[in-house]
Chain A
Amino acid sequence: MIRNYFKIAWRNLIKNKGFSLINIGGLSIGMSCSILILLWVLDETSYDKFHTNANQIYRLTVDAGSDFKAAVSPAGMASGLQDIIPEIESTMRLSPPITALFEANNLKFEEQHVFCADANFLEMFNFSLLKGHLKTALQNPNGILITTTTARKYFGSEDALGKIIRKDNKDTFTITGILADTPSNSHLQFDIILPMSYLAKTDKNLIKNTWNNFGFYSYIQFNRGHKLSSEARTNLEDEINQIYASKSPEFQPKFQLQPLTDIHLHSSNLQIDVSGHGNIQYVNIFIIIAFIILLVACINFMNLATAQSFRRAKEVGLRKVIGAKRNQLIFQFLSESILISFISLFIAVCVIYLVTPAFNNLTEKQIVFQLLDNKIWLNLILIGLITGLFSGSYPALFLSGFKPIKAIKGRLRSGHENLLFRNGLVITQFVVSVFLLVGTVVVYKQLNFIKDKDLGFDKSNLLYIPEKDGIYNKRSALKTVLQQNPLTSDFSMVSDLPTNLITGAVNVEWEGKDPNSKIIFPRIDIDENFTSVFQIETLRGRSFSKAFGTDASNYVINEKAMKVMGMNLETAIGKNISFQDKKGTIIGVVKDFNFKPLQYAIEPLILRFREKNNIVVVRTQPGKTEATIKALKEIYGNLNPAFPFAYNFVDKDLENQYRGEQQMGTVFNLFAILAIFISCIGLYGLSAFIAEQRIKEIGIRKVLGASIFGLVNMLSKDFFKLVLTALFIATPIAWYVMDTWLQDFAYHINIRWWMFALSGIAIVVIALTTISFQTIKAAITNPIKSLKTE
């Protein structure tokens, strides 16, 4: 029986080649997109699940109030909590990433993915240790763990275990373990791990186990078998907060336990975090897009199958007369759609094999499409089945319901209900298309807006040399040399760049401060050139200057800080404030400028004077960037030959901050275009079908003198109405969804009516162009030919 069904299905496929091509083409594209997206989603949601105890490990995060949440906690806290809370099995701290110069085998590299970790790092996490001792590798302050790739970089094919490696030209380490490269689905991406005991030699917070400086990532593992319910978690968080309150009565932030497996996707609101996180919002959006694309492809299938139903009507009627039950017919049509679905699936699998490298490139992932993986092929078969069943459902129900004699006599043509349903489907497709198009426009505008937004300082032509350990003692000399060279003389030394500032203090006092207020004031240490190099406007007073000798106890604040402290431009200058227990006077107010990614609004900022700072920022003269870099390289080489010279551009850094968004934007656009394309394929098929159906009518009309334009108009009018309806339905949905997305940015564009108009016009043009291929063809056919066909 089934064989009989498939035989007929196959013959029908061959017989209507054009429509089969459209059906299978649309479905394959749709499936490829959806499967790719699902692979991406699977990867995004797989983060950190490879750790055996992933479910019992939590990261301690902190909510310091006024929208400041951070991933860090104090040095002494984790172990301190373990002493008090019995449910804690173990704790492990990690330093924020360190950039340092490493040297071995006469090879020097600057390493950026370096962490210091407590000795139980390898016991809590399951990063596979290829060589060395799991328990002891990080015990000795002179031990060091490196990954295979790093080992190969320094030692080639030699065995690196036991070899010596030097950090920053002074500290020597013995390699005590070789790790496999970090799995790509780990939130921690490292090349080198140093023992925490090494850092503890110099770090005061570690020596004293302080509870007030937030500088470490703390991971807490709860007892085996102790899977935390949300209630238990809240209780533990309360307990932690109480413990902290008893240690620090003056500052009481709220601590949270973030599940290890949540870190990758649920950290977008956390500051001072390791980089490279994903965003649950994007995962959700993409899941929806995957479904939408598949839906659009299924709709094509349904639509064409229903439209062509009269072709099958006679068969249905005859089968009924010879004893077919309705469910047998339904089964027959479903097996047909499943056949088509699996042919498409097969093509989609081939396509995915071909495009995975490009997709990985685009999304910076390392997705491997493994067909043999149980989970993957089960999912694929599921997708094939669901697609087949879903897209075949309506045609099957519809076709199998024909009354036999009417069906045989071909007296059913397109019923009213059928037409309504098909129109509904076309409208749905175009609602999706309009929605995606509006989405594309809004995303594009917003990303451009971010790129071009006036940050309050001039970000172009700003070159900087990151903090260098070896230059610390030579900063005065460096300053002098930089001043002497006209290429580099427009420079400033700052503690932090206004790109992603991670400093912040709560102990700021001013006259009339509400004692309960816990506002966080970020801070940058600047020299006297800061405002001129960054071209930041001073609204009142002055910035720091060599001309006044005593700026060490003066402060410059931004507008926002002025408002927070209840002052205005007239009153602010000369007011006394205290910052981190150091008293001083406000000497100037600068115009607000952004110093964090644009997801965050501008916070109150304190600018503090330090003559020498670690980061050197040079404003290059237009066209002289190369020469400036050369000059700087020489200056640094002379001062500190041991360190390789490295530089970056502020605007590049800023751009990189939105890399995630840009990437998502590109992927979104790509899939939006594909979804619209699939809709168009369907529309093309449908218009071909309708033109074919009305070919005789067109012939007669032509003989009676209808113009080609009139005919095209007649054939397109109905579609035009559908597209307009879709526009009406899609507009509010798109407006709502995109507005929600924009609210994530403290700085965002407003949705404007022209975005809808533009999308609407684009869709109408695309749709009419698609249809016109067929309508024009039909309209210019010689009427004699079409009339003869009867």
Chain B
Amino acid sequence: MILQIKNLFKWVNSGGNRVFLLNDIDFTVNEGEFISIMGPSGSGKTTLLNVIGMLDDFNEGEYAFLNEPVHTLKEKYRANLYKEYIGFVFQSYHLIDELTVYENIETPLLYKKHSASERKALVADMLDRFNIVGKKDLFPSQLSGGQQQLVGIARALVSSPKLILADEPTGNLNSTQGTEIMELFKQLNKEGVTIIQVTHSESNATYGSRTIRLKDGMIVNN
């Protein structure tokens, strides 16, 4: 079991009213699972993924990551978890604007203290795998949306995470590229990587072993 969420609530106060972004969420993720989260726009998918990724906090409930209660985690420990376990793919391909493609992919390895030659090999492998070798010295602003998305995924995968959190990873890709990514995810999953992805596409969801459907911040079927 990687993580377990029990009776989790997240709300914002708007004009004196509580607006629930996440409403009584309950679910468990075991090692080796490939989960798809689906739901209409605004249903809270990104919010949930951020909470799972410990990027955002919640108001009520319990959340244990590797049996550690998340709300007691120190910042340093969280940073270590990221380094060791988690690769995060954002819905809107967030890259560091001041770094080139190559450097963006290399940065997680810097924090993991890989040797220079190791880094070179790993980054080269990623560039190759995503077919962006020719773009390695460009800055994010010089790339198309789809290319940025690919770099974002490459950056998440380069440090071989045990858990991948992907928020619509194929949203900006053409269907061939999308399928390639999904195949890649499937391959990784087979190798033992746990994956949680948010997606709008039913066909992408079928790559997963399980689908969670959200509506108005609530899980409607599990």
Within 8 A of B (CB), among A381-408: 403-405, 408
Q: Which residues of B contact A404 (CB under 8 A)?
A: 55
Chain B: minimal CB distance from A292 (Å): 34
Q: Give the docked Cα–Cα distance between A319 and B99 (Å).
A: 12
Whether the Cβ atoms of B96 and A323 lie closer than 8 Å is no
Whether the Cβ atoms of B97 and A315 lie closer than 8 Å is yes
Residue A170 interfacial (CB < 8 Å): no
Chain A: minimal CB distance from B82 (Å): 4
Residue A112 interfacial (CB < 8 Å): no
Whether the Cβ atoms of B94 and A322 lie closer than 8 Å is no
Point out residues on B near A: beta carbons under 8 Å.
Answer: 50, 53, 55-56, 75-76, 79-80, 82-83, 88, 90, 94-99, 103, 106-108, 110-112, 155, 159
Within 8 A of B (CB), among A1-30: 1, 4, 7-8, 11-12, 15
B158 closest partner in A (C-beta): A322
User: A-side binding surface: helix, strand, loop or mixed?
Assistant: helix
Q: Give the docked Cα–Cα distance between A74 and B106 (Å).
A: 82
B75 closest partner in A (C-beta): A326
A12-B108 contact given A323-B82, A325-B79, CB 8 Å threshold: no
Residue A324 interfacial (CB < 8 Å): yes
Q: Give the docked Cα–Cα distance between A319 and B107 (Å).
A: 8
Point out residues on A near B: beta carbons under 8 Å.
Answer: 1, 4, 7-8, 11-12, 15, 314-315, 317-326, 328, 403-405, 408
Q: Which residues of B contact A315 (CB under 8 A)?
A: 96-98
Whether the Cβ atoms of B111 and A323 lie closer than 8 Å is yes
| B107 partner, pick from A12, A322, A405, beta carbons under 8 A | A322
Chain B: minimal CB distance from A189 (Å): 58
Q: Which residues of B contact A320 (CB under 8 A)?
A: 79, 82
Q: Which residues of A contact B111 (CB under 8 A)?
A: 319, 322-325, 328
Whether the Cβ atoms of A324 and B103 lie closer than 8 Å is no
**14 sampled A-B residue pairs with Cβ under 8 A:** A4-B106, A4-B110, A12-B98, A15-B98, A319-B96, A322-B108, A323-B79, A323-B82, A325-B111, A326-B75, A326-B79, A403-B55, A405-B55, A408-B55
Chain A: minimal CB distance from B126 (Å): 13
A1-B110 contact given A323-B83, A326-B79, A405-B55, CB 8 Å threshold: yes
Q: Give the docked Cα–Cα distance between A317 and B96 (Å).
A: 10
In the A-B complex, the 9 residue pairs with the closest CB atoms: A323-B83, A405-B55, A323-B111, A322-B108, A323-B82, A325-B79, A405-B56, A11-B98, A404-B55
Chain B: minimal CB distance from A134 (Å): 64
Q: Which residues of A contact B56 (CB under 8 A)?
A: 405
Apart from the given pairs A4-B106, A318-B96, 17 other A-B contacts in the complex at a CB distance below 8 Å? A4-B107, A8-B99, A314-B96, A317-B94, A318-B94, A319-B107, A321-B55, A322-B82, A322-B88, A323-B79, A323-B83, A325-B79, A325-B80, A326-B79, A403-B55, A405-B50, A405-B55
A323-B159 contact given A1-B110, A4-B107, CB 8 Å threshold: yes
Chain B: minimal CB distance from A726 (Å): 36
Chain A: minimal CB distance from B183 (Å): 24
Chain A: minimal CB distance from B113 (Å): 8
Q: Give the docked Cα–Cα distance between A119 and B90 (Å).
A: 89
Q: Which residues of B contact A403 (CB under 8 A)?
A: 55
| A322 partner, pick from B75, B80, B155, beta carbons under 8 A | B155
Q: Give the docked Cα–Cα distance between A408 and B93 (Å).
A: 11
Q: Give the docked Cα–Cα distance between A564 and B97 (Å).
A: 83
| B103 partner, pick from A4, A325, A326, A328, beta carbons under 8 A | A4
A11 closest partner in B (C-beta): B98
Whether the Cβ atoms of B50 and A321 lie closer than 8 Å is no
Chain B: minimal CB distance from A571 (Å): 88
Q: Give the docked Cα–Cα distance between A469 and B159 (Å).
A: 95
Q: Which residues of B contact A319 (CB under 8 A)?
A: 96, 107, 111
Q: Give the docked Cα–Cα distance between A404 and B50 (Å).
A: 10
Q: Which residues of B contact A328 (CB under 8 A)?
A: 111
Q: Which residues of A contact B53 (CB under 8 A)?
A: 321
Q: Which residues of A contact B83 (CB under 8 A)?
A: 323
Q: Give the docked Cα–Cα distance between A408 and B155 (Å).
A: 16
Q: Which residues of A contact B50 (CB under 8 A)?
A: 405
Q: Give the docked Cα–Cα distance between A782 and B99 (Å).
A: 34
Q: Give the docked Cα–Cα distance between A744 and B83 (Å).
A: 65
Chain B: minimal CB distance from A518 (Å): 74
Chain B: minimal CB distance from A73 (Å): 69
Q: Give the docked Cα–Cα distance between A325 and B113 (Å).
A: 12
Whether the Cβ atoms of B76 and A323 lie closer than 8 Å is no
Q: Which residues of B contact A314 (CB under 8 A)?
A: 94, 96-97
Q: Which residues of A contact B107 (CB under 8 A)?
A: 4, 319, 322
Q: Which residues of B contact A12 (CB under 8 A)?
A: 98
Chain A: minimal CB distance from B73 (Å): 13
Most buried by B among A7, A315, A325: A325
Q: Which residues of B contact A321 (CB under 8 A)?
A: 53, 55, 82, 88
B53 closest partner in A (C-beta): A321
Chain A: minimal CB distance from B108 (Å): 4
Chain A: minimal CB distance from B109 (Å): 9
Q: Give the docked Cα–Cα distance between A404 and B81 (Å).
A: 14
A325-B76 contact given A314-B94, A408-B90, CB 8 Å threshold: yes
A318-B98 contact given A324-B79, A326-B75, CB 8 Å threshold: no
Q: Give the docked Cα–Cα distance between A321 and B83 (Å).
A: 9
Chain B: minimal CB distance from A340 (Å): 16
Chain A: minimal CB distance from B79 (Å): 5
Q: Which residues of A contact B159 (CB under 8 A)?
A: 322-323
Q: Give the docked Cα–Cα distance between A325 and B77 (Å).
A: 9
Q: Which residues of A contact B99 (CB under 8 A)?
A: 8
Chain B: minimal CB distance from A321 (Å): 5
Whether the Cβ atoms of B82 and A326 lie closer than 8 Å is no
A328 closest partner in B (C-beta): B111
Q: Which residues of B contact A325 (CB under 8 A)?
A: 76, 79-80, 111
Whether the Cβ atoms of A323 and B108 lie closer than 8 Å is yes
Q: Which residues of A contact B94 (CB under 8 A)?
A: 314, 317-318, 408
Q: Give the docked Cα–Cα distance between A322 and B82 (Å).
A: 6
Q: Give the docked Cα–Cα distance between A357 and B76 (Å).
A: 54
| B95 partner, pick from A4, A318, A324, beta carbons under 8 A | A318
